Structure 1
């Protein structure tokens, strides 16, 4: 089957991030991060819905009664039916940082990384939100934490500092959420860009947004580069598998990141849908 690349009908975002397929309700979710806008549609970008918040939303995840949001400085639950939010935790963050990329693990926790606006300085952290609302810093020292995702078995965590350019791998203790020592899995700069968001397919391959190379790269679990898929618009930010069969790769893109990345392409900020990759995703984890 040849690769088919389309743009969804949904309205473009300034800083599109955190695509998320809700397999329970057959809905695609994503955020316009700095604008504090949460969006949803069907698998083709139709039947749109939107909610606005008074602060940036860096990433989102499924939870047992709606969504979990990593807002600028807190984690909160969100009920799409009522539009209500409920604070869960405020991580101990460095000044002038905000929460960015996040993902639920396969055992009911939610993790999110922080970054400093403007991208300078290694003061970002990776936080783990546990089911009881406890929040722990488990990694520190990155400028822009990104590419957070988990192996199919849930025993490996992938993570990156976009400014460093390396895709990292950590052993992940599914019982406690503790991480092992950092290993370098791949140097994404060899493909033309540091890593942005990432996801894992059912065979354990890692699909990484190469934001500066206008492409998605695929690596195997040993870090070998397998293929690169060119995107039709600049600045792809994060991929996620979705659709009824989990065989569509949805990719958010950036029109204006608020600092360095500004695109003049007419379709900048649109969501790209890639089909025919001969890859299937996994149902997203659920924060409990």
Structure 2
């Protein structure tokens, strides 16, 4: 079904490539990134003030750390801890040798506190990998042959892992173990071809349903744990990129969007393309984000 919700434009200016919104319920902050402009931005909910941190390279994703003064981030060449005080970087996992034909993209922390992040082919070639970094910096490769890593998130219990290679136009679901076990063979959880879109960023709500940005369709889909479409929400712009629940009661669905991805593959035609929005009236809430480490 298609429903109408209240959408409020949140950010004071558009991002080129808005991605990876994340709510920190400890500080009452909403973080997100502009990948092309190489910035982390955050909104202080109480003061409505937006602060930004400039980074030295393109950035694909961020996640919360146990230390509230830092984030973990997938930058172009590797995974780093980022100081919110001064933007200082501490490497966690930087592949050696590097490969300028891939960059880190979507990432999330699992329920055990490990950061799972995927790389993507800069020219959409199948050279990407999916890696998992534990609190001690140990790294495992979970999958290879990926073109564009997206839709990474976990069920409330943590035993199901959702992931997409966006160009496949499908979201995979894997049984996910709490230890170092490799991924099992996936099943196709959602086929997004009926909406003529690949899946972009995703999140899971408190009822275990998956919310996915259908970037080429200008819609956000909510899918039940068995993969059935439950709701289809019209996005306030034509290219929604990623979603997360936030606000004091986790009832606001925050949505980033694209103005110009810099690759020529995604350019908005909407006057508000690239802005961050808050969607209210959905009648569901999200979950607190896990912390790395």
Cα distance in 2 between the residues matched to 1:217 and 1:100: 21
Residues 9 and 37 of structure 1: is their aligned pair in 2 closer, same or farther, counting only changes over 3 Å? closer
Cα offsets for 1:26-62 (capped at 9, x unmatched): 1000000122111001348920100111101110000
Cα offsets for 1:214-263 (capped at 9, x unmatched): 01001001011111100121210000011110000001000000121112
Alignment partner, residue 164 of structure 1: 168
Task: State how many pairs are aligned.
Answer: 287
Residues 55 and 2 of structure 1: is their aligned pair in 2 closer, same or farther, counting only changes over 3 Å? closer
Cα distance in 2 between the residues matched to 1:150 and 1:136: 18
Q: Which of 169, 181, 185 is the matching residue for 2:189?
A: 185
Matches within 5 A, 1:103-182: 103-119=108-124, 121-176=125-180, 178-182=182-186
1:77 has 2:77 as partner: no
1:63 has 2:65 as partner: yes
1:282 has 2:287 as partner: yes
Question: Is the CA contact (8 Å cut-off) linking 2:54 and 2:87 kept in structure 1?
Answer: no
Q: Which runs of 5+ in 1 are unaligned?
A: none
**Under a length normalisation based on structure 2, what TM-score does the superposition of the two structures give?**
0.94
Cα offsets for 1:61-109 (capped at 9, x unmatched): 0011221011111111112124322111113665400000000011110
CA RMSD of aligned residues (A): 1.7
Alignment partner, residue 12 of structure 1: 14
Residue aligned with 1:266, SS = coil
Cα distance in 2 between the residues matched to 1:240 and 1:157: 16
Q: Which runs of 5+ in 2 are unaligned?
A: none
Cα distance in 1 between the residues matched to 2:4 and 2:142: 42
Cα distance in 2 between the residues matched to 1:166 and 1:2: 25
Cα distance in 2 between the residues matched to 1:273 and 1:130: 32
Residues 44 and 116 of structure 1: is their aligned pair in 2 closer, same or farther, counting only changes over 3 Å? farther
Cα distance in 1 between the residues matched to 2:276 and 2:106: 17
Alignment partner, residue 238 of structure 1: 242
Cα distance in 1 between the residues matched to 2:28 and 2:215: 27
